[in-house]
Structure 1
Amino acid sequence: MTDGRTVYFEFTVIGAQVRVAAIDAASGVEVSIVGAVGVPRHDLERVALRKLMKRLEKDP
């Protein structure tokens, strides 16, 4: 799904929520999502990655 791109994930816990940033290493494009602390990490990464890929499709 990453098309060979390197993607970094940053997790920041804010109370009962976690902010997940997905950053494309090549372009520096960053998107973020907010989810509940109890949601599995891989699910949050998957959603953030999907959002990043859609953003990169619009503006490669």
Structure 2
Amino acid sequence: MSDVAQIRINELARELEVKARAILELLPGFGVTEKKTHSSSVDVDVAEKLRKHFQGLGA
């Protein structure tokens, strides 16, 4: 198990009220190069960047 805290992409999508696909499409831009699915997890630092991205769109 990884030492880095993580959150599932589908949980993050639900929190942000966006489709998991929207998050998956943005991951390469945030430096996530490995293949991910909606049930995969991302590090909390990436999740925070995604939160800021989507909150910026809603502002």
**Fold-level match, TM-score > 0.5?**
no
Using the size of structure 2 for normalisation, the TM-score is 0.36
The structure that is strand-richer by fraction is 1
The structure that is helix-richer by fraction is 2
Using the size of structure 1 for normalisation, the TM-score is 0.36
